[in-house]
Amino acid sequence: MTTELFPQILGFILVAAVLGAAAFWLGRRSARKSDANIAEHSAAGKTPDTRSDGHGQAQESVAGQKVGSEAESTGNELPQAIPSVSWFSRLSSGMSKTQNQLIRQIESLFTSQNEKASREAILDAMLEILVRADVGIRTAEMLIERVRHELPGAELSDAGSVKTVLRKEILSLLKSDAGWSLTSPEQKPAVVLMVGVNGVGKTTTTGKLAFKERQAGKTVIVGAADTFRAAAVDQLEQWAHRAGAECVRLSEGADPASVAFECVKRAVGQQSDLCLVDTAGRLHNRQDLMQELAKIKRVASKDVQGAPHEVLLVLDATTGQNALQQAKAFREIAGVTGLVLTKLDGTAKGGVAIALANEMKLPIRYIGVGESVDDLQPFVAEEFVDALFAPHSSQTADKTSRSEVTGSITL
Ligand SMILES: Nc1nc2c(ncn2[C@@H]2O[C@H](COP(=O)(O)OP(=O)(O)OP(=O)(O)O)[C@@H](O)[C@H]2O)c(=O)[nH]1
Ligand SMILES: [Mg+2]
């Protein structure tokens, strides 16, 4: 009996041994995978307790700033932003004031009350509308010349054909570079300097970019080189904490260039994908402060050849034409490589994007239409133009009060 059962018992033992070995192997494999994930996350973003300042807990909140629809992060996991509203809706809604100032006003030139207006009167009024939306006189004149040329004689008689010409011309001025990205596998770390005048959104944009890059799985170190104000450092640290990025801070009043140096050095040591350096706001006509920026740039290049790879000038769209003056000064002194246009949501002067693209010959890399992390996105010319020329909707019209649109044009 026992001898008869022997092969079956042996077979059973063999099957059990094989199954046991397989279970053991699978268990080891998943443990190794989770170790690797933890290692990757901690390389990317240290918990508050391990940050350079040794201060431990980050501030609980930064006045008026929302980190998107994301939940509170422990700093170790990758940030998750779940946009509840699509980017195009945010963009269209954010640009509704500019749209009303520009496109709705142009449409109003072709209503029945203006049907007796001469061709030249319509072109003059159109020029005025473009200038009021901060497209800038040079760019506005150029666009009107294109309309004049493309729509000879009676062809300039309806809003549709005018908008088609303007849309095409504006799009050709705004061209965006689809292949561009802030980080690249060939350049580790990519060193990026954030510059601009006071209050334009440099720190917020630095935080949002850190957050986005972390979401994309990149390792990020930010440098708080605005050492003049402790609050500015805390503000950036808060963003870094939420993003799961390391924040380099030195003592208050320290040389901003040393923060940049330390930030780049650590990014090199940890083979980070991105080193983002936030700088203090400075007036473009203050020579000493502009020289300080030049020093930050020089120091940033010490450990990484070609750094900084990008100098992003942050411009506040609500300042309209003044943004052009800032861009000119910063381009000369700080070697700006790209623009970030913030606060498009707060203004009817969004036409400044067209002036910047045409007159500065600098690419717009990102645009911002609000305070949440999802409100900053890479600039895509087609999207911008689509949002600007989107058909009239009661929702967008309601967002702009009459006082925000500068007078309607009467012919
Ligand atoms: N509505 C709106 N507000 C924005 C946008 N971007 C930034 N802000 C707000 O602008 C304010 C100033 O932003 P900061 O990031 O502190 O500006 P900053 O350039 O770092 O300022 P300084 O360091 O003082 O020079 C904050 O309240 C931001 O939330 C945007 O696209 N839309
Ligand atoms: Mg700041």
* 148-200 per-position pLDDT tens digit: 999 998 889 899 999 999 999 999 999 888 889 999 999 999 999 999 999 99
**Range with lowest mean pLDDT among 37-41, 72-76, 233-237:** 37-41
Q: Which helix (H) or strand (E) holds 74?
A: none
Best mutation site among 87, 203, 345 for ligand 1, i.e. most ligand atoms within 8 A of its Cβ? 203
271-299 pLDDT per residue, tens: 999 999 999 998 877 888 888 999 999 99
Residues in the chain: 411
Q: Measure the CA–CA gap between 103 and 409, rounded to whole angstroms.
A: 12
- Give how far Cα 250 sits from Cα of 44, 169, 335, Å: 20, 48, 26
- Count Cβ atoms below 10 Å from residue 28 Cβ, excluding itself: 10
Q: Is the predicted pLDDT of residue 401 greater than 60, yes or no? A: no
Distance 159 CA to ligand 1 centre (A): 37
Q: Which of 173, 110, 100 is nearest to 388 (CA)?
A: 100
Q: What pTM does this model have?
A: 0.80
Distance 73 CA to ligand 2 centre (A): 22
The residues pairing with 274 across neighbouring beta strands, listed in sequence order, are: 190, 220
| Number of continuous H segments (helices) and E segments (strands) in the chain | 15, 8
89-131 pLDDT per residue, tens: 999 999 999 999 999 999 999 987 888 889 999 999 999 999 9
HEC string of 174-213? HCCCCCCCCCECCECCEEEEEECCCCCCHHHHHHHHHHHH
Q: Measure the CA–CA gap between 178 and 49, rounded to whole angstroms.
A: 39
Q: Is residue 305 packed enough to be buried (19+ CB in 10 Å), middle (13-18) or exposed (0-12)?
A: exposed
Best mutation site among 371, 372, 376 for ligand 1, i.e. most ligand atoms within 8 A of its Cβ? 371
How remote is the C-alpha of 360 from its chain's centroid?
19
Q: Is residue 149 packed enough to be buried (19+ CB in 10 Å), middle (13-18) or exposed (0-12)?
A: exposed
Which residues fall within 8 angstroms of residue 199, CB to CB, at 6 or more apart?
281, 316
Site residues for ligand 1, CB cut-off 6 Å: 64-65, 196, 198-204, 226, 232, 281, 342-343, 345-346, 368-371, 375
